[in-house]
């Protein structure tokens, strides 16, 4: 077995989920994630944890959902499984990233609503989502399988302790600051000049560990929940919404709301998204990607939004972890949360309260930062 699979499993079990003896651990095995599951089971055995393995397959879901009449009921068994679990490890690894392409979105949403209690019980555990590189993911990224594996392990097998320390510096700046301004000026595309308030909000140091309230491996971003957004933003990284490719999204904000927008392709999908509910026109997240093991976009948000030298803004739901205790109800509410990414590696600045903290991808505490 590739030694990196064993390293991945160790990172997941120890750094990310902090598994201890006696923990009841659910391991959700994607249809193409068998090899990672073997390595994870060995680590869990060595730590004296209990294991229940579940099976996650788009093909099974598709068959079930297409045959169902749509009147879904809550699953007591699924809820009970998660209620009695301490840790849930989701090992993604699809054999076909479009296996659910012919299942109507309403059907998926109806099942999700019926299973909300089980979902909440799962989110109450020390859950972590990761991904085992498969040929389907390589294909989605436009890479060979070997190349994609190198890419994925570069992203996953970081020195997380050291990255967490660096991200703590950015978190301190954002926690102390009141206003963020993001500026990008390039000749070949619309400019970005966006001002957001972050006063009273708490930044999360997303260091790929439940100890940091971070539930993705890889991670590597610091994010907060902005409001009172003013200005314009252009997103040069393509995204896939409802199975369709949306490029060159441009949003214009006034008093925290999107008042104008455009997209280079599939603009109607963007329009549908923004019309979901009132919260879909407000920002739920400002995230600053700091994982430099991720050096290109692969059409997979788990990786894309963590890429070093990028910023992402999400329209829709905000995370409660960005609010001080007792203020969680101030979080922007929406049925959606869609990340949009922009490259800030060149001709870009991020400023907090008027002071530039990043220019062209370099933070002010790094070698190569240009003071002005």
Q: Which residues bind its own copies (CB under 8 A)?
A: 22, 24, 26, 29, 31, 34, 37-39, 41-46, 48, 50-57, 59-61, 63-69, 71, 73-85
Within 8 A by CB and 6+ apart from 227, the residues are 196, 197, 198, 201, 256, 282, 283, 332
Measured from the CB atom, the residue of 60 and 335 that comes closer to its own copies is: 60
| Comparison of 39 and 155: residue with beta carbon closer to its own copies | 39
Q: Residue 52, Cβ neighbours under 10 Å: how many?
A: 13
Transcribe 344-372 into DSSP letters.
Answer: -SSSEEEEETTEEEEETTEETTSTT----
In total, the chain counts a number of residues equal to 372
Instruction: List the alpha helices (DSSP H) in 13-67.
Output: 34-46, 58-67
Of 61 and 347, the one with the shorter C-beta distance to its own copies is 61
Tell me how far, at minimum, the Cβ of 75 lies from its own copies, in Å: 4
Angstrom distance (rounded) from CA 370 to CA 356: 10
Nearest Cα to Cα of residue 352 among 315, 323, 311, 320? 311
Q: Are 28 and 61 in contact (CB under 8 A)?
A: no
Minimum CB–partner distance for residue 150 and its own copies (Å): 25
Q: Which is nearer to its own copies, 42 or 168 (CB)?
A: 42
Cα(313)–Cα(223) distance, integer angstroms: 9
Nearest-approach distance from CB 98 to its own copies, in angstroms: 16
293 to 13, 142, 206, 361: CA distances (angstroms): 20, 18, 15, 14
Least distance (Å) between residue 1 CB and its own copies: 10
Q: Which residue has the tokens 């220019």?
A: 359
DSSP string across 66-95? HHS-S-----HHHHHHHHT-SEEEEEE--S
Q: What is the closest distance, in whole angstroms, from the C-beta atom of residue 111 to its own copies in the complex?
A: 10
Nearest in space to 39 (alpha carbons), one of 69, 74, 13: 13
The minimum distance between CB 12 and its own copies, in angstroms, equals 14
Give the nearest distance from C-beta 24 to its own copies in angstroms: 4
Closer Cβ to its own copies, 115 or 362, answer by number: 115
Q: Which is nearer to its own copies, 58 or 220 (CB)?
A: 58
Nearer to its own copies, 118 or 174 (CB): 118
For residue 149, give the nearest of 27, 32, 244, 310 by alpha carbon: 32
Shortest Cβ 83–its own copies spacing (Å): 7
Residue 11: exposure state from Cβ atoms within 10 A (0-12, 13-18, ≥19): buried
Nearer to its own copies, 87 or 196 (CB): 87
């Amino acid at each position: 077995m590739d030694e990196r699979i064993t390293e991945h499993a160790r990172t997941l079990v120890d750094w990310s989920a902090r598994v201890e003896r006696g923990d009841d651990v659910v391991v959700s095995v994607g249809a193409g994630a068998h090899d990672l599951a073997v390595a994870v089971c060995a680590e869990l055995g060595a730590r004296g944890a209990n294991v229940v393995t579940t099976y996650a397959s788009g093909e099974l879901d598709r068959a079930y959902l297409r045959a169902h009449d749509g009147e879904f009921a809550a699953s007591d068994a699924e809820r009970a499984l998660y209620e009695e679990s301490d840790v849930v490890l989701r090992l993604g690894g699809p054999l076909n990233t479009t296996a659910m392409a012919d299942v109507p979105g309403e059907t998926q949403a109806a099942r999700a609503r019926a299973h909300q209690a089980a979902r909440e019980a799962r989110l109450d555990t020390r859950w972590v989502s990761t991904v085992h590189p498969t040929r389907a993911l390589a294909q989605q990224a436009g890479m060979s399988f070997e190349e994609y594996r190198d890419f994925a392990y570069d992203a996953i097998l970081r020195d997380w302790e050291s990255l967490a320390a660096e991200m703590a510096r950015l978190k301190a700046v954002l926690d102390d600051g009141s206003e963020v301004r993001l500026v990008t000026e390039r000749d070949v595309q619309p400019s970005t000049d966006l001002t957001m308030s972050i006063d009273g909000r708490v930044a999360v140091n997303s260091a790929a560990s439940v100890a940091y309230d971070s539930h993705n491996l890889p991670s590597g971003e610091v994010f907060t929940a902005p409001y009172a957004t003013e200005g314009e933003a252009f997103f040069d990284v393509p995204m896939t919404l409802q199975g369709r490719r949306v490029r060159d999204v441009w949003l214009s904000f006034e008093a925290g709301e999107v008042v104008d927008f455009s997209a280079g392709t599939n603009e109607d999908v963007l329009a549908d998204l923004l019309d979901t509910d009132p919260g879909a026109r407000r920002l739920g997240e400002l995230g600053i990607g700091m994982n430099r093991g991720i050096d290109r976009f692969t059409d997979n948000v788990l990786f894309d939004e963590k890429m070093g030298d990028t910023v992402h803004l999400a329209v829709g739901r905000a995370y409660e972890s960005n609010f001080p205790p007792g203020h969680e109800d101030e979080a922007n509410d929406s049925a959606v949360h869609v990340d949009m990414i922009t490259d800030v590696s060149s001709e870009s600045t991020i400023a907090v309260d008027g002071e530039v903290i990043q220019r062209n991808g370099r933070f002010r505490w790094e070698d190569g930062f240009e003071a002005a």
